[in-house]
Amino acid sequence: MEQKSAFITIIGRPNVGKSSLMNKILGQKVAIVSNKPQTTRTRIMGILTKDETQLVFIDTPGFHKPRNELDRNMNKAVGDGMSDVEVAVLVIEAVTQFKTEDNVLPPAEAELINELKRRKLKAVLVINKIDLLPQKDKLFDIITNYTSHFDFEAVVPLSAKTGDGTENLLSELNKFSKPSPHYFDKDDVTDQPEKVMVAEMIREKLLRSLDKEVPHGIAVDLERFVERDTANGEPIVEVEATIICERDSHKGIIIGKNGSMLKKIGMLARKDIEKFFGIKANVKLWVKVKEDWRNRQGLIHTFGLD
């Protein structure tokens, strides 16, 4: 059988469910998810190989107005994710679209659509979170509005949460695969090294447990990551990481009363890490302040965010 493949970028404003959608399609969690905007910080590949066809998804950070160097790097990752792909999937949220006036696109979506046009890129529109939509007839207005601004190859309403509609998206995307050798091994699901995935699992727990501006100013620096056998011959993965935050007050919040928050984060991360590797894990966490690291390219580089 002749091999086929397609590169597919997933773009959209923060928090619309891009990473959730990719995870659902892959049937495995490769990108972290939280209810805070700007969860994804770099391009993350997710690979789906079925018989002769390999679809390579590129999950990108939510496109937003930059406020610091890290934001600028994140927006650049969106642009980079749009080069050399067969098709883009523009994800929007069903519910928030009603707030917009007739025939006017919200700024983030308008800018992304301009970018699609500039690059002459084909695109599929995904209207996510339809499980939250009380009246499905509202979809018609959203579709009319978006298709008046761009000639989408297809429009697919779906729910990344329930999986409703994701099969329709896959059959649309399969049409873009073209004869080419596979770029990844058939068992690969992501391009992220294990070390990066572990650091991300820890960051996800911070995003989910902390409020307001604290989690956005956090980076996780994985200092030790080894697998070894314990005295009784059982394999165990040892993880030691430093959580970098921007202020002393944030450090206090992350550690919590008598260390309770840090303990909780470590416990939640340990569970995910154990599930991922299928063996026991030991997680040790520290917290360090590095003021304004999100504006310091050197530190952004150190944390692998460029």
Ligand X SMILES: Nc1nc2c(ncn2[C@@H]2O[C@H](COP(=O)(O)OP(=O)(O)OP(=O)(O)O)[C@@H](O)[C@H]2O)c(=O)[nH]1
Among 6, 8, 11, 16, binds ligand X (CB under 6 A): 16
Which of ligand X, Mg ion, none does residue 216 bind to, with CB < 5 to 8 Å depending on kind? Answer: none
User: Shortest gap between Cβ of 169 and Mg ion (angstroms)?
Assistant: 17
Would you count residue 54 as binding ligand X (CB under 6 A)? no
Coil vs helix vs strand at 236: strand
Could you give the CA distance from residue 192 to residue 306 in angstroms, rounded to a whole number?
14
- Scan residues 61-90 and list those touching ligand X (CB under 6 A): 61-62
Q: 14: which 2 tokens? A: 């923060």
- Scan residues 159-218 and list those touching ligand X (CB under 6 A): 159-161
Would you count residue 39 as binding ligand X (CB under 6 A)? yes
Cβ distance to ligand X smaller for residue 123 or 281: 123
Cβ distance to Mg ion smaller for residue 40 or 97: 40
Pick from 104, 149, 98, 93: which is nearest to 126 by CA?
Answer: 93
Which of Mg ion, ligand X, none does residue 160 bind to, with CB < 5 to 8 Å depending on kind? Answer: ligand X
Coil vs helix vs strand at 136: coil
User: Shortest gap between Cβ of 159 and ligand X (angstroms)?
Assistant: 4
DSSP structure class, residue 295: G
Q: Report the 10 Å Cβ neighbour count for 230.
A: 10
**Distance, C-alpha 120 to centroid of its chain:** 24
Could you give the CA distance from residue 9 to residue 79 in angstroms, rounded to a whole number?
10
Could you give the CA distance from residue 11 to residue 60 in angstroms, rounded to a whole number?
6
Would you count residue 42 as binding ligand X (CB under 6 A)? no
User: Shortest gap between Cβ of 128 and ligand X (angstroms)?
Assistant: 5
Element (H, E) at 60: none
DSSP structure class, residue 190: B
Would you count residue 40 as binding ligand X (CB under 6 A)? yes
Cβ distance to ligand X smaller for residue 43 or 129: 129
Coil vs helix vs strand at 145: helix
Binding pattern to ligand X, positions 119-158, x when CB under 6 A? ---------xx-xx--------------------------
User: Shortest gap between Cβ of 91 and ligand X (angstroms)?
Assistant: 6
Could you give the CA distance from residue 277 to residue 141 in angstroms, rounded to a whole number?
46
User: Shortest gap between Cβ of 2 and ligand X (angstroms)?
Assistant: 34
The footprint of ligand X (CB under 6 A) covers 12, 14-20, 33-35, 37-40, 61-62, 128-129, 131-132, 159-161
